[in-house]
């Protein structure tokens, strides 16, 4: 603020942060920044909560799957391959629990020392299955 010789007060055209013209703009910008910060914190909080809930569901599901298998006994048996049988069709008949057919086929190949998926009529294979019956 400057004064003239006769003592009257006048404003200059200098625009500074402290001038009354800029105070409402600065307050508005601060409010916008605060609102954006609040929204960001809210979004991050929601994402973290969703991750916690999803993790809990995954862990609970895995625990249930393990319980169903642990209540059952694993048995092995020998089967004779018939015409039209494949490892995949056999696996689909014997697979249970959380295992996939692909995993079961790989385990059948390992148990029976097979290098490929090829099996032949009359060949014997060892397969495993789960049962709650005591044998």
Could you tell me which residue, 3 or 113, shows the higher pLDDT? 113
User: Model-level pTM?
Assistant: 0.48
Please report the pLDDT score of residue 64 as a whole number.
57
| C-alpha–C-alpha distance, residues 3 and 9, integer Å | 5
Predicted pLDDT of residue 35 = 85
Q: In the chain, which residue ranges form alpha helices assigned H by DSSP?
A: 22-70, 87-94, 101-111
Q: CATH for 72-131, among 3.20.20.140, 3.10.350.10, 3.90.190.10, 1.10.630.10? A: 3.10.350.10
Size (the chain), residues: 135
Please give the Cα distance from 132 to 69 (Å, whole number). Answer: 9
State the Cα–Cα distance between residues 11 and 73, nearest whole angstrom: 92
**pLDDT tens digits, residue range 75-84?**
899 999 999 9
In the chain, what are the domain boundaries?
1-71, 72-131
Helix axes 101-111, 87-94, angle to 10 degrees: 110
Span 6-14, average pLDDT: 54
Query: pLDDT tens, 20-42?
Result: 555 666 777 777 888 888 999 99
Q: Do the Cβ atoms of 90 and 107 come closer than 8 Å?
A: no
């Amino acid at each position: 603020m400057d004064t003239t010789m006769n003592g009257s007060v006048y404003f200059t055209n200098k625009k500074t942060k402290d001038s009354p013209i800029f105070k409402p703009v600065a307050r508005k910008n601060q409010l916008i920044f605060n609102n954006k910060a609040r929204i960001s914190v809210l979004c991050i909080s929601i994402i973290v909560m969703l991750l916690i809930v999803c993790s809990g569901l995954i862990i609970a599901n895995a625990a249930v799957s393990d319980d169903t298998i642990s209540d059952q006994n694993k048995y092995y048996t020998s089967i004779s391959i018939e015409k039209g049988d494949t490892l995949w069709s056999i696996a689909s008949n014997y697979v249970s629990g959380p295992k996939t057919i692909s995993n079961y086929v790989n385990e059948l190949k390992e148990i029976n020392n097979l290098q490929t998926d090829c099996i032949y009529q009359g060949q014997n294979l060892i397969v495993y299955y789960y049962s709650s019956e005591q044998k």
